[in-house]
Each structure stands twice: as C-alpha cells, then as structure tokens.
C-alpha cells in the first residue's frame, strides 16, 4: 500500500502536466477554429460603411486584401478589449478604425493577432502622462502630452482624436495606431529593439545591416537639421525607428522607396506587402 502511494505521488506532477498540455492544446484548437469562422463571415454593413467613409487607405487596397482585412478585423475585435477612459464611450467607429489600422500591419504576416495582451485603452484626446527618467545621479520626473503608447507586454493606449486623424489622412506619414502596434510586433521576440520576428537567418542579417546603416543616417540628419521623409522622431532609438518607418512605409511608400530603396525593400519583406502597388492600382 505504501509503495502504491509513493508511485501515485511521484506520478502526480506528470499527470497534472499532461492534463494541462491536453487542455491547452484543446483551447488552442478551439481558438483557431473560432478565428477561421470569424474570418469567413462577411463584415457587417455598418462596419464596412465606416471603413469606406473614414479610412481611405482601405479603398486603395486590392480586393483580395480588403477581404482579408475584413476577416482580421473580426478576429481582432473578438480577442481584444477596447476600453474607454476619461468618459469616452466606445462605439463601432472607434472599434473598427482601431482594428482596421492595427490589422493592416498583420495582413500577410504570420502570427497570432498581437499575442500577449488584451487591453486597448482609449482617451478622447491627447492625454498628459507623467514619467521619470534618469540622467546620471538625477531622477527627473515630468509630464508629457501623448497621442499613444505601448506598454511592454501590456496595454496599448491611444488618443481617439489621433486615431481618427490617422485613419482619415493616409498620406501624411503619421499614424498612431500603426506606430503603437509596430511596437507590439517588435516585442514579439522579447525585447523592443527594432528587430521584429523574421523567417530566416539571412533575413535577420540583411535587416540588421540595412537598418543599422539607415538609423545612423537618421541620427546624422537630425544632428544636421536635414529634412527627410522619415519623421525625425525615428532617430531617438532603433525601436522608434522601426515604428516610425512603419508609418512611412504604409502612408508614403513612393517617397520612402525613392529616398531609401534598401529600407523599403526590407519593410516589404517584413510585412510581406507592397503599399506602392496599392496607390498605383486605385489612384
Ligand atoms: Zn514609439
């Protein structure tokens, strides 16, 4: 009897682990099936109307990508919680425009709808946040006005007026949703360092080579006061460079390709998309 009890207690952790793996596998399968079902549903007419009237970039997409985006939007809205802050009431327009701009980045990228977080907090307007930074022996606490932010492994925060402006103007190279969700892609391989997940070792090598060189050029441009199609904020860190070039890639593809052909090529391979073609097709 004593021996049986010893065997039982020794095998208990293995049994628990196997049950957990079995349940986890089942829940992954259930999630995948639900995603397939949601992607195959047609988008509600009121959602489609919002895209057609408020998001001109959607109208420039080829039909196949419009269809794909509609599917992704429905999964995204099912899996993320969009929560109003400072009295903002969340409505369909807010939900659809955040989902559409975020899902544009993952239209063709393999992955699973920005894993690792659920909450997107939305303020009515640009908001004031406090932060502390260290300079030598000094801890400096200050406040700054923000259009959005992405917490590492945590929530995305957005200002609705900026989300709407970003959706309505698809040519100015500024898009807060794309910016913050580029940070989310960046952190999928742990560090937020301007290096997203890429499929091959060769691609990592090319990415590092091109991005490091282009980042140095941006820093020099900033120091010399030289204007560029890429916003100077990109020169603050490799992570910000990735997020800012993402905005430029989707909203100013011609200018980016003209000024920085190698950079454009790397982003084309990273997102498996070529926004230059969209403009050509529908303009
Ligand atoms: Zn940023």
In a domain, 201, yes or no: yes
* Ion ligand 1, residues whose Cβ is below 5 A away: 240, 243
In a domain, 27, yes or no: no
Q: How many domains does the chain have?
A: 1
Angstrom distance (rounded) from CA 62 to CA 208 = 31
Ligand 1 center from residue 149 Cα (angstroms): 7
In a domain, 6, yes or no: no
Ligand 1 center from residue 235 Cα (angstroms): 11
In a domain, 64, yes or no: yes
Ligand 1 center from residue 178 Cα (angstroms): 10
Ligand 1 center from residue 273 Cα (angstroms): 22
Angstrom distance (rounded) from CA 92 to CA 100 = 12
Looking at residue 157, what is its pLDDT?
A: 95
Ligand 1 center from residue 148 Cα (angstroms): 8
Looking at residue 46, what is its pLDDT?
A: 97
Contact 72, 104 (CB under 8 A): no
Ligand 1 center from residue 15 Cα (angstroms): 45
Ligand 1 center from residue 241 Cα (angstroms): 8
In a domain, 1, yes or no: no
CA 255 to chain centre: 22
- Among residues 185, 123, 174, the alpha carbon closest in space to that of 152 is found at 185
Ligand 1 center from residue 128 Cα (angstroms): 16
Looking at residue 11, what is its pLDDT?
A: 73
Assign residue 201 the CATH number of its domain: 3.40.390.10
Angstrom distance (rounded) from CA 77 to CA 39 = 11
In a domain, 13, yes or no: no
In a domain, 31, yes or no: no
Its domain, for residue 252, covers 38-282
Looking at residue 283, what is its pLDDT?
A: 45
In a domain, 172, yes or no: yes
Within the chain, which residues score under 70 in pLDDT? 1-10, 12-24, 131-143, 279-283
Ligand 1 center from residue 179 Cα (angstroms): 6
């Amino acid at each position: 009897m004593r021996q049986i009890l010893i065997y039982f207690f020794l095998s208990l952790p293995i049994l628990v682990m196997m049950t957990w793996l079995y349940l986890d596998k089942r829940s992954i399968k259930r999630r995948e099936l639900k995603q397939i079902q949601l992607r195959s549903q047609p988008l509600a007419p009121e959602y489609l109307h919002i895209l057609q009237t408020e998001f001109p970039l959607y109208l420039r997409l080829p039909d196949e990508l419009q269809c794909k985006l509609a599917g992704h939007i429905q999964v995204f809205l099912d899996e993320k919680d969009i929560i109003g802050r400072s009295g903002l009431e969340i409505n369909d327009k807010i939900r659809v425009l955040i989902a559409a701009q975020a899902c544009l980045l993952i239209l063709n990228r393999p992955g699973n709808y920005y894993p690792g977080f659920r909450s997107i907090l939305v303020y009515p307007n640009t908001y004031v946040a406090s932060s502390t930074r260290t300079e030598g022996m000094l801890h400096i606490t200050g406040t700054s006005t923000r259009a959005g932010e992405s917490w590492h492994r945590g929530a995305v925060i957005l200002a609705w007026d900026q989300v709407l402006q970003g959706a309505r103007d698809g040519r100015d190279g500024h898009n807060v949703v794309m910016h913050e969700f580029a940070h989310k892609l960046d952190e999928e391989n742990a560090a937020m360092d301007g290096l997203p997940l890429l499929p091959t070792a060769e691609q990592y090598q090319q990415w590092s080579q091109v991005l490091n060189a282009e980042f140095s050029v941006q820093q020099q441009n900033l120091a010399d006061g030289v204007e560029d199609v890429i916003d100077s904020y990109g020169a603050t860190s490799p992570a910000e460079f990735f997020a800012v070039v993402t905005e430029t890639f989707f909203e100013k593809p011609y200018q980016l390709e003209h000024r920085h052909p190698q950079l454009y090529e790397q982003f084309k391979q990273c997102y498996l998309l070529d926004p230059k073609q969209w403009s050509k097709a529908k303009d």
